[in-house]
Amino acid sequence: MGIIQTKALDLYYGSTQALKKINLDVEKNAVTALIGPSGCGKSTFLRTLNRMNDLIDSVKIEGEVLFEGKNIYKDYDEIDLRKRVGMVFQKANPFPMSIYDNIVYGPKIHGVKDKSKLDELVESSLKGAVLWDEVKDRLNKSALGLSGGQQQRLCIARTLAVEPEVLLMDEPTSALDPISTLKIEELMDELKKKYTIIIVTHNMQQAGRISDYTAFFLNGEIVENGKTESIFYKPQDKRTEDYITGRFG
Asked whether residue 1 carries a pLDDT value surpassing 80, the answer given is: no
Residues 196-211, mean pLDDT to the nearest whole number: 94
Structural domain boundaries in the chain: 4-245
**Region label for 245, one of left (φ > 0), alpha (ψ between -120 and 50) or beta (otherwise):** alpha
As a whole number of angstroms, the distance between CA 129 and CA 107 comes to 17
pLDDT band at 249 (very low <50, low <70, confident <90, very high): low
Asked whether residue 214 carries a pLDDT value surpassing 70, the answer given is: yes
Going by C-alpha positions, the residue among 164, 29, 178 that lies closest to residue 106 is 164
Digit-coded pLDDT (tens) for 180-194: 899 999 999 999 999
pLDDT band at 100 (very low <50, low <70, confident <90, very high): very high
The reported pLDDT for the residue numbered 55 is 84
As a whole number of angstroms, the distance between CA 233 and CA 48 comes to 29
Query: The pTM is what?
Result: 0.94
Q: Which residues pair with 87 in a beta bridge?
A: 168
The reported pLDDT for the residue numbered 112 is 92
- Percentage of residues of the chain with pLDDT beyond 90: 88
Digit-coded pLDDT (tens) for 68-77: 999 999 999 9
Digit-coded pLDDT (tens) for 120-136: 999 999 999 999 999 99
- Chain-centroid distance of CA 187 in Å reads 13
Asked whether residue 2 carries a pLDDT value surpassing 90, the answer given is: no
As a whole number of angstroms, the distance between CA 31 and CA 228 comes to 10
In the CATH scheme, what is the code of domain 4-245?
3.40.50.300
As a whole number of angstroms, the distance between CA 33 and CA 19 comes to 17
Mean model confidence pLDDT for the chain: 94
The reported pLDDT for the residue numbered 197 is 97
